[in-house]
Amino acid sequence: MKQKGFSLMELIIVIVIMGLLVGAMIPMFAKNTDKARVAKAQSECDAIKTAVTMYKADTGKWPMDAGATPAANTTEKGLVTDGYAVGSTWGGPYLDKAVNDPWNKAYNIAVITGKGLIVYSFGQNGTDNSGENDGTSTKDDIALTISSVYP
Residue 89 CA to residue 72 CA, distance in Å, equals: 23
Q: Determine which of 8-17, 69-78, 126-135 has the lowest per-residue pLDDT on average.
A: 69-78
Residue 76 CA to residue 109 CA, distance in Å, equals: 11
CATH number at residue 66: 3.30.700.10
pLDDT of residue 124: 75
Evaluate whether residue 65 is within a structural domain. yes
Tell which wins on pLDDT, 41 or 60.
Answer: 41
Tell which wins on pLDDT, 75 or 106.
Answer: 106
- The count of domains in the chain is 1
- Of 128, 41, 52, the closest CA to residue 95 belongs to 52
Confidence band (pLDDT; 50, 70, 90) for 128?
low
Do residues 82 and 106 lie in contact, with contact meaning Cβ atoms separated by under 8 Å? no
What's the mean pLDDT when you consider all of the chain? 74
Find the domain containing 83 and state its range. Answer: 40-147
Confidence band (pLDDT; 50, 70, 90) for 13?
very high
Average pLDDT over residues 85-112: 76
